[in-house]
Structure 1
Amino acid sequence: MAGVSTSLLAKPNKQPRTLHSASPRRHAHARIQWTNTWPHDPLLPSMSATALLLLLPLAALLAAADAVNDDVLALVVFKSGVSDPAGRLAPWSEDADRACAWPGVSCDARTGRVDALALPAAGLSGRLPRSALLRLDALLSLALPGNNLSGPLPDALPPRVRALDLSANSLSGYLPAALASCDSLVSLNLSGNLLSGPVPDGIWSLPSLRSLDLSGNQLSGSVPGGFPRSSSLRVLDLSRNRLEGEIPADVGEAGLLKSLDVGDNLFTGGLPESLRGLSGLSSLGAGGNALAGELPAWIGEMAALEALDLSGNRFIGAIPDGISGCKNLVEVDLSQNALTGELPWWVFGLALQRVSLAGNALSGWIKAPGDNASALQELDLSGNAFAGVIPPEIVSLSRLQHLNLSSNTMSGQLPVGIGRMASLEVMDVSRNQLSGGVPPEIGGAVALWKLLMGSNSLTGTIPVQIGNCRSLIALDLSQNKLTGPIPATIGNLTSLQMVDFSENKLNGTLPVELSKLTSLRVFNVSHNLLSGNLPISHFFDTIPDSFISDNAGLCSLQRDNSCSGVMPKPIVFNPNASSNPLSEVSPGVPSSQHHKKIILSISTLIAIVGGALIVVGVVTITVLNRRVRTAASHSAVPTALSDDYGSQSPENEANPGKLVMFGRGSPDFSAGGHALLNKDCELGRGGFGTVYKAVLRDGQPVAIKKLTVSSLVKSEDDFRWQVKLLGKVRHHNVVTLRGFYWTSSLQLLIYDFVPGGNLYQHLHKCSAVSLFSWMERFDIIIGVARALAHLHRHGIIHYNLKSSNVLLDSNGEPRVGDYGLVKLLPMLDRYVLSSKIQSALGYMAPEFTCRTVNVTEKCDVYGFGVIVLEILTGKRPVEYLEDDVVVLCDVVRAALDEGRVEDCMDPRLSGEFSMEEAVLIIKLGLVCTSQVPSHRPDMGEVVSMLEMVRSSQGTPEDDLV
Structure 2
Amino acid sequence: MGFLEFFIFALISVSSFRCCKSIDDSNDDDDVLGLLAFKADIIDSSSHLSSWNQDDSSPCSWKFVTCNPATGRVTEVSLVGLGLSGKIGRGLEKLQNLQVLSLARNNLTGNLNPHLNNLQALNISGNFFSGSIPPSLINSGRIKFLDLSENYLSGPIPSDTFSTCSSLRVLSLSKNDLQGPIPSSISQCTSLNHLNLSKNRFSGTPDFSTGLWLLTRIRTLDLSHNALSGRVPNGVSGLHYLKELLLQHNHFSGGLPSDMGLCLHLKRLDLSNNLFTESLPVSFQRLSSLTYLNLANNMLTGDFPKWVGKLNGLDYLDISGNGLTGILPTSIGDLGSLTYLSLSGNSLTGNIPKTLIYSSKLTVVKLRGNRFNGTIPEGLFELGLTQVDLSSNRLTGPIPPGSNRLFETVQSIDLSGNGLTGDIPPEMTLFSNLKYLNLSWNNFETRLPLEVGNFPNLTVLDLRNGAFHGSIPGNLCNSGSLEILQLDGNSLTESIPDNIGECSSLYLLTLSHNDLRGLIPRSMSLLKKLKILKLNSNQLSGEIPPELGDLENLLMVNISYNRLQGRLPSRGIFPSLQESSLEGNLGICSPFLKGPCKMDVPKPLVLDPYAYGDQIGNHEKGERANPSNSNHRKFLSVSVIIAILAAVLISIGVLVISLLNISARRRMQFVDNALESCSRSSRSSRSVSFGKLVWFDSKIAPDWVSNPESLLNKAAEIGGGIIGTVYKASLGEEGKDLAIKNLIVSNMVKSHEDFDREVRVLSKARHPNLVSVKGYFWKPELQLLVTEYVSNGSLQSKLHNQSTSSQLSWSTRFNILLGTANGLAHLHHSFRPPLVHYNLKANNILLDENLNPKISDFGLTRIMAKHDKQVMSKRFQSALGYVAPELACQSLRVNEKCDVYGFGVLILEVVTGKRAIEYGDDNVLILSEEVRGMLEEGNVLECVDLRMGEYREDEVLPVLKLALVCTSQIPSSRPSMAEVVQILQVIRTPVRHRMEAY
TM range (shorter): 0.5 to 0.7
Change (3 A) 1:261 1:393: same
> What is the letter of the counterpart of residue 415 of structure 1?
P
- 1:433 alignment counterpart: 443
1:386-412 Cα deviation digits (max 9, x unpaired): 122222447872121111111112222
Change (3 A) 1:432 1:150: same
Partner of residue 472 from structure 1, selected from 478, 482, 489: 482
> Any idea what SS the aligned residue of 2:180 has?
strand
1:320-374 Cα deviation digits (max 9, x unpaired): 1122221111111111111111112133342211111111111112232257x42
> Any idea what SS the aligned residue of 2:326 has?
strand
> What is the letter of the counterpart of residue 382 of structure 1?
S
- 2:323 alignment counterpart: 314
User: Which residues in structure 2 correspond to 1:630-709 (within 5 Å)?
Assistant: 704-705=838-839, 708=856
Change (3 A) 1:284 1:807: closer
Question: How far apart in 2 are the matches of 1:654 and 1:786?
Answer: 31
Q: Is the Cα–Cα contact under 8 Å of residues 503 and 526 in structure 1 kept in the other structure? A: yes
Question: How far apart in 2 are the matches of 1:485 and 1:862?
Answer: 43
1:140 aligns with 2:144: yes
- 1:288 alignment counterpart: 297
Question: How far apart in 1 are the matches of 2:386 and 2:230?
Answer: 39
1:124 aligns with 2:123: no
User: Which residues in structure 2 correspond to 1:26-175 (within 5 Å)?
Assistant: 88-90=85-87, 92=89, 94=91, 97-98=94-95, 103-104=103-104, 114-135=119-140, 138-154=142-158, 155-156=161-162, 159-175=166-182
1:483 aligns with 2:493: yes
- 1:866 alignment counterpart: 948
Question: How far apart in 1 are the matches of 2:931 and 2:762?
Answer: 22
- 1:404 alignment counterpart: 414
> Any idea what SS the aligned residue of 1:375 has?
coil
1:342 aligns with 2:342: no
Question: How far apart in 1 are the matches of 2:565 and 2:200?
Answer: 56
1:183 aligns with 2:190: yes
Partner of residue 527 from structure 1, selected from 537, 544, 550: 537
Report the alpha carbon displacement of residue 721 of structure 1 after superposing the two structures with TM. 6.7
Report the alpha carbon displacement of residue 248 of structure 1 after superposing the two structures with TM. 0.5
Q: Is the Cα–Cα contact under 8 Å of residues 785 and 864 in structure 1 kept in the other structure? A: no
Q: Is the Cα–Cα contact under 8 Å of residues 434 and 456 in structure 1 kept in the other structure? A: yes
Change (3 A) 1:873 1:374: closer
Change (3 A) 1:190 1:691: farther
TM-score (norm 2): 0.56
Question: How far apart in 1 are the matches of 2:126 and 2:286?
Answer: 39
Q: Is the Cα–Cα contact under 8 Å of residues 741 and 749 in structure 1 kept in the other structure? A: no
> What is the letter of the counterpart of residue 331 of structure 1?
Y
> What is the letter of the counterpart of residue 153 of structure 2?
L
Question: How far apart in 1 are the matches of 2:857 and 2:909?
Answer: 31
Report the alpha carbon displacement of residue 551 of structure 1 after superposing the two structures with TM. 2.1
User: Which residues in structure 2 correspond to 1:232-631 (within 5 Å)?
Assistant: 232-351=241-360, 352-369=362-379, 373-393=382-402, 397-398=406-407, 399-532=409-542, 533-534=544-545, 536-538=547-549, 540=551, 547-553=558-564, 555=566, 556-558=568-570, 559=575, 561=589
> Any idea what SS the aligned residue of 1:243 has?
strand
> What is the letter of the counterpart of residue 280 of structure 2?
L
> What is the letter of the counterpart of residue 483 of structure 1?
T
Q: Is the Cα–Cα contact under 8 Å of residues 467 and 489 in structure 1 kept in the other structure? A: yes
1:759-809 Cα deviation digits (max 9, x unpaired): 999xxxxxxxxxxxxxxxxx99999989776568899899xx9xxx99999
Question: How far apart in 1 are the matches of 2:768 and 2:224?
Answer: 37
Change (3 A) 1:255 1:343: same
Report the alpha carbon displacement of residue 104 of structure 1 after superposing the two structures with TM. 3.1
> What is the letter of the counterpart of residue 193 of structure 1?
N
> What is the letter of the counterpart of residue 273 of structure 1?
V
> Any idea what SS the aligned residue of 2:383 has?
helix
Q: Is the Cα–Cα contact under 8 Å of residues 465 and 490 in structure 2 kept in the other structure? A: yes
1:800-850 Cα deviation digits (max 9, x unpaired): x9xxx99999x9999x9xxxxxxxxxxxxxxxxxxxxxxxxxxxxxxxxxx
Paired residue total: 666
Question: How far apart in 2 are the matches of 1:365 and 1:105?
Answer: 53
1:607-644 Cα deviation digits (max 9, x unpaired): xx9xxx9xx9xxx9xxx9xxxxxxxxxxxxxxxxxxxx
Q: Is the Cα–Cα contact under 8 Å of residues 874 and 906 in structure 1 kept in the other structure? A: no
Q: Is the Cα–Cα contact under 8 Å of residues 887 and 898 in structure 2 kept in the other structure? A: no
- Relative CO higher for 1 or 2, CA cutoff 8 Å, sep ≥ 6? 1
TM-score (norm 1): 0.58
> What is the letter of the counterpart of residue 150 of structure 1?
S
Change (3 A) 1:129 1:795: farther
Change (3 A) 1:271 1:134: same
Q: Is the Cα–Cα contact under 8 Å of residues 737 and 751 in structure 1 kept in the other structure? A: no
> What is the letter of the counterpart of residue 123 of structure 2?
A
Question: How far apart in 2 are the matches of 1:675 and 1:451?
Answer: 46
1:392-448 Cα deviation digits (max 9, x unpaired): 447872121111111112222222222111121111111122221221112221111
Report the alpha carbon displacement of residue 509 of structure 1 after superposing the two structures with TM. 2.0
1:449-496 Cα deviation digits (max 9, x unpaired): 111110121111111111113221111000111012212322222221
> Any idea what SS the aligned residue of 2:125 has?
coil
- 2:202 alignment counterpart: 195
1:710-754 Cα deviation digits (max 9, x unpaired): 9999x9989957954865x6xxxx764554899xxxxx9998464
Question: How far apart in 2 are the matches of 1:514 and 1:374?
Answer: 40
Q: Percent identity?
A: 26
Change (3 A) 1:18 1:466: closer
Q: Is the Cα–Cα contact under 8 Å of residues 485 and 509 in structure 1 kept in the other structure? A: yes
> Any idea what SS the aligned residue of 1:390 has?
coil
1:216-263 Cα deviation digits (max 9, x unpaired): 111011112212456111110101111111111111111100011111
Question: How far apart in 1 are the matches of 2:169 and 2:476?
Answer: 58
1:16-42 Cα deviation digits (max 9, x unpaired): 989999xx9xxxxxxxxxxxxxxxxxx
Question: How far apart in 2 are the matches of 1:546 and 1:346?
Answer: 48
Partner of residue 213 from structure 2, selected from 186, 200, 204: 204
Change (3 A) 1:120 1:226: same
> What is the letter of the counterpart of residue 122 of structure 1?
N
Question: How far apart in 2 are the matches of 1:681 and 1:520?
Answer: 36
> What is the letter of the counterpart of residue 558 of structure 2?
F
Change (3 A) 1:216 1:91: closer
Partner of residue 240 from structure 2, selected from 231, 248, 259: 231
Question: How far apart in 2 are the matches of 1:459 and 1:674?
Answer: 47
Q: Is the Cα–Cα contact under 8 Å of residues 151 and 175 in structure 2 kept in the other structure? A: yes
Q: Is the Cα–Cα contact under 8 Å of residues 249 and 274 in structure 2 kept in the other structure? A: yes
> What is the letter of the counterpart of residue 123 of structure 1?
F
Question: How far apart in 2 are the matches of 1:356 and 1:876?
Answer: 32
Question: How far apart in 2 are the matches of 1:112 and 1:101?
Answer: 12
Change (3 A) 1:314 1:797: closer
